[in-house]
Amino acid sequence: MTQHFIVIGNPIAHSKSPEIHALFAEQAAIDIRYQRQYCPDDAASFTAVVEAFFNGGGIGANVTVPFKQIAYDCCVARGGLSEHAKVAGAVNTLLLNTALLESGTPIADALYGDNTDGQGLVNHITSLGWPLKGARVALIGAGGAARGVILPLIQAGIGALTIANRTLSKATNLVDELSTASETIDKHSIETCATSELTGQFDIIINATSIGLSGDTLPLDNDLNCHYAYDMMYGRTLPFLQHFAARDTQTSEGYGMLIGQAALSFERWTGHTVDVTQATNTLSGR
C-alpha cells in the first residue's frame, strides 16, 4: 500500500525533500508518495493542513521554514514532543502518537513532534570520519539552527563548546534557556563570545548563521583555526568555507545534514534504515 508523506513550507517549490525521500523509498523497496505542501503563513492554516493530511491517512510530515515553531506549539497542546524537539523549541518531523490513538484519542489530538536536524548534522559529520567525542567545537550563530544542534552535539560527547554570535546577548540567553530546558546541558561548561572575538584552535567550527543568504562575510579572526569547518548552508558559494579551505582545512557544506535529518524522519516513519552515505553520493552527483 502506498504510504503518504508531505513537507509543509512557505515557500516550498525549492524543497529537495521529495527527491531525497524517493531515493530512500527506492533503497527500502517500499511504495511512497511524498509531496511538497504549500501553506499560507499563519498558525490556523498550518493546523488545518496538518489535520486534513493526517485525517486523510497521511503517515508523516516534514516541517520547514517558517512553520517549525508553530508545529512545536501544535504538538505541545496535543500528542507530545521528543526531547530533541523540546530543547530545540522547534519541530521538523510530525507523526501520530500511536499509544494515544490506541487509547481512543482523535487523530488531530495525537500529533507528535520530533526534531531530527541536529542529529542529522552529527550523523553527517561522524559519517565523514570526524570524531565528535572529545572534540573542541565552536558553533557560530545563536538562531534556530544553532539551538537545534547543541543537545545532539553534547550527547555525541564533544569535549568543549564555544558559541559565538554577532549579538553576544543572544548566545548567552540561548545557553541559559537550554540549560534550563535540559539536564544534559550545563551552562557553566559552554563558553560564549562575540563572533569577531572567536579565536584560537578548535577541532571543528560550525557555521550556523544565515549569513550565506546575505552575501556578507563573517568577521573571522586571523588566529582562528580548526581541523574541519562545516557550513550548514549548501548549494551556493560559501565564503566561510572558502576562508578555511584557503588554510588547507577540510570543509563540508550542509547538504549531508539535510539528507541526514531526512533519513532520521524516514526511519522514524517507516522503520526502514537508510544508507545515508550511498544516498548522499547519489544525490550529490545529480
Instruction: Compare residues 209 and 270 and give the one whose CB is closer to ligand NDP.
Output: 209
Please state the separation of Cα 13 from the chain's center in Å. 19
Distance CA 16, CA 259 (A): 9
Match 509543509 to its residue by C-alpha cell. Answer: 8
Residue 27 or 209 with smaller CB distance to ligand NDP: 209
Q: In the annotation, is 68 catalytic?
A: yes
Residue stretches of the annotated binding site: 15-17, 64, 83, 92, 117, 141-145, 165-170, 232, 234, 254, 261
Distance of closest approach, residue 134 Cβ to ligand NDP, in angstroms: 24
Residue placing its CB nearer to ligand NDP in the complex, 25 or 232: 232
Nearer to ligand NDP, 175 or 233 (CB): 233
If phi > 0 it is left, if psi is from -120 to 50 it is alpha, else beta; for residue 247 that is alpha
Q: How far is the CB of 90 from ligand NDP (least distance, A)?
A: 9
Q: Residues annotated in the binding site for shikimate, as ranges? A: 15-17, 64, 92, 117, 234, 261
Least distance (Å) between residue 101 CB and ligand NDP: 30
Q: How far is the CB of 64 from ligand NDP (least distance, A)?
A: 8
Three cell numbers, residue 56: 486523510
**Which among 164, 73, 151 is positioned nearest to 116, based on CA atoms?**
151
Give the binding site for ligand NDP (CB under 6 A). Answer: 117, 141-146, 165-167, 170, 195, 208-214, 216, 218, 232-234, 254, 257-258, 261
Please list, in sequence order, all residues whose beta carbon lies within 8 angstroms of the beta carbon of residue 84, skipping any fewer than 6 positions away: 114, 115, 116, 118, 119, 148, 151, 152
Comparing CB distances to ligand NDP, the nearer of 9 and 79 is 9
Binding residues for NADP(+): 83, 141-145, 165-170, 232, 254
Nearest residue (beta carbon) to ligand NDP: 143
- Rounded CA-CA distance 128/6 in Å is 29
What is the rounded (10 degree) CA torsion for 97, 99, 101, 106? Answer: -70
Q: Are 110 and 97 in contact (CB under 8 A)?
A: yes
How far out from the chain centre does Cα 45 lie? 23
- Out of 68, 86, 133, 187, the active site residue is 68
- Name all contacts of 21-26 with Cβ < 8 Å and 24+ positions apart: 21/262, 21/266, 23/279, 23/282, 23/283, 24/262, 24/263, 24/266, 24/272, 24/274, 24/279, 25/266
Q: Give the separation between CA 74 and CA 78, rounded to whole angstroms.
A: 6
Residues involved in catalysis: 68
